[in-house]
Amino acid sequence: MANLPDAATCYELLARMALIRRFEEEAGRQYQRARAGGFLHLAIGEEATIVGTASMMRSEDFLIGTYRTHGHAIARGTEPKRVMAELFGRVDGTSGGRGGSMHIFDAAQRFMGGYGIVGGNLPIAAGIALASQYKGEDAVTVCMFGDGASNTGNFGETMNLAALWKLPVLFMVENNLYGMGTSVERHSAQTDLSKKAEGYGIPGERIDGMDVVAVREGVAEGIRLAREEQRPTLLEAFTYRYRGHSAADPEVYRKREEVEEWQEKDPIEQFARRCREADVLGEREVQQAREKADRTVEAAVEFAEASPEPALDTMYENLYAQTEPGGWYAVDERSPEPHRGEDEAEMPAAARELAEAGAAYAGQPEGPRPNPALHGDAQEGVEPRVSAERELGDEPEDAGSNGEAAINEDEG
């Protein structure tokens, strides 16, 4: 077992884990009160992996995570009140209230998000590391992702380039044993995830993600290899989320006893006990860390509640899509009032209309049916694509695959 660090560091580790735990419990509560909208993924139980990793990083290093990252941002130094305001969709949130729980982002702390696409943060991590290398900077990028993400195409592509270009990056799989409701045994052919990048020349190691000291030890070496030798590594931290995948998860895929078994290894309790037994921290300090967490989170909720919602006329700010010159990615610039079908009160009528149209369509006799691409699908005023092509004088090269032949065929 790795040695405990000095008393001040132990206190800081304990206080940070307790703060994240408290924050997430409160986030769950606020979500149930409908104060926080969108999705909410809690990492309660995973605090040692998060805090252990972040605590070994320098301020110039980058951290990038997934959609379960309230704690990652806080561990990196983002103020909890700004994370809470983001969950509440308020202007003082880390993303101005535009991102919500899955898109916490804080460039000042070099916390690069916050991504809803499973595995989507891996290539971005490689890109950040490439930028550091290109600029001759000393920074390391740490990329944290789930066991499920290790099955994505992004994983292989990123490992290949990271190894090939010798990028200063450390990959960490937060193996909480499940990707939503699917266990590692059912989703990954190779269940030793630390081996999954070996074929690319990236060595891996398994660590106890419930033990903050063990995490620090593993991460220290991974960061050293990345910084000093430009050698990426893949750490697999074994951890566990006590709560469901997201706020709506009936958890039919695991047993209550399994959750309880992992709760016995609780990262905060375990570490507090160890610090007390080694006489590094006293009961008073442990209590103090917890009370401080309570106060910080209480203040975070007050701050979030007091923060205004973004003004309606700022709705289209921060969008990269452009309408001039007009393109495929046009922004809906209609008036802010609800439009047909957007108002909930209209929904029953709109739903009935759609259902009736669907039934009429399904009730047609067997045989060729109108092709919506050619005849428009309820988009009045939209010219069929073929006639547009004709106007441009584009005669179809192969009349058998589109153009007139297709129209004739469709019209029977």
Ligand X SMILES: Cc1ncc(C[n+]2csc(CCOP(=O)(O)OP(=O)(O)O)c2C)c(N)n1
User: Contact positions toward ligand X, by CB under 6 A?
Assistant: 66, 68, 116-118, 146-149, 176, 178-180, 245
Binding-site size, Mg ion (CB under 5 A): 4
Nearer to Mg ion, 41 or 274 (CB): 41
CB of 247 to Mg ion, least distance (A): 16
The pairing of strands 169-175 and 141-146 is: parallel
Which residues are paired to 206 by β-bridges? 236
Please report how close the Cβ of residue 177 comes to Mg ion at its closest, in angstroms.
Answer: 7
Q: Which of residues 146-165 bind Mg ion (CB under 5 A)?
A: 146-147
The 3-state DSSP class for residue 149 equals helix
116, interface contact from Mg ion, ligand X, none, CB < 5-8 Å by kind: ligand X
- AA identity, residue 100: G
Among Mg ion, ligand X, none, residue 94 binds (CB under 5-8 Å by kind)? none
* CB closest to ligand X, residue no: 146
Q: Amino acid letter at 230?
A: Q
Stretch that binds Mg ion, among 68-76, 138-146, 244-252, 398-406 (CB under 5 A): 138-146
Q: Are strands 182-183 and 178-179 parallel, antiparallel or unpaired?
A: antiparallel
Q: Which is nearer to ligand X, 30 or 176 (CB)?
A: 176
Q: Which two tokens stand for residue 223?
A: 């960061």
Minimum distance between the CB of residue 327 and Mg ion, rounded to whole angstroms?
A: 38
Q: Which CB sits closer to Mg ion, 46 or 79?
A: 46
> Contact region for Mg ion (CB under 5 A) — 82-90, 174-182, 297-305, 352-360?
174-182
> Please, what sign has the CA dihedral across residues 376, 382, 383, 389?
negative
Q: Pick between residue 90 and residue 245 the one whose CB is nearest to ligand X.
A: 245
User: Does the protein bind Mg ion through residue 176 (CB under 5 A)?
Assistant: yes
Given ligand X, Mg ion, none, residue 103, with its beta carbon under 5 to 8 Å by kind, binds: none
For residue 91, which amino acid is it? V
CB of 115 to ligand X, least distance (A): 9
Beta bridge partners of 171: 143, 234
The DSSP annotation for 219-233 comes to HHHHHHHHHHH---E
Structure tokens at 29: 């509560």
What pairs with residue 143 in β-bridges? 64, 171
The C-alpha atoms of residue 406 and residue 394 are separated, in whole angstroms, by 15
Q: Which stretch binds Mg ion (CB under 5 A): 169-177, 189-197, 215-223, 227-235?
A: 169-177
Q: Which is nearer to ligand X, 147 or 211 (CB)?
A: 147
At its nearest, how many Å lie between Mg ion and the CB of residue 179?
5
Contacts of 388 (CB under 8 A, 6+ apart): none
- What minimum distance in Å lies between the beta carbon of 171 and Mg ion? 15
Q: Residue 260 is encoded by which pair of tokens? A: 């309880």
Q: Minimum distance between the CB of residue 238 and ligand X, rounded to whole angstroms?
A: 12
Structure tokens at 158: 């990123």
- The yes or no reply on residue 46 touching Mg ion (CB under 5 A) is no
From CA 220, how far away is CA 403, in angstroms rounded? 63
Q: Are 53 and 142 in contact (CB under 8 A)?
A: yes
Nearer to Mg ion (CB atom), residue 31 or residue 178: 178
Cβ nearer to ligand X, comparing 38 with 370: 38
Torsion-angle region of 354 (φ positive above 0: left; ψ -120 to 50: alpha; else: beta): alpha
Tell me whether residue 66 or residue 194 sits nearer to ligand X (CB atom): 66
Closest approach, Cβ 249 to ligand X, in A, equals: 10
Q: Taking a C-beta distance cutoff of 8 angstroms, is the pair 43, 210 a contact? A: no
Q: Name the residues that contact Mg ion, by CB under 5 A.
A: 146-147, 176, 179
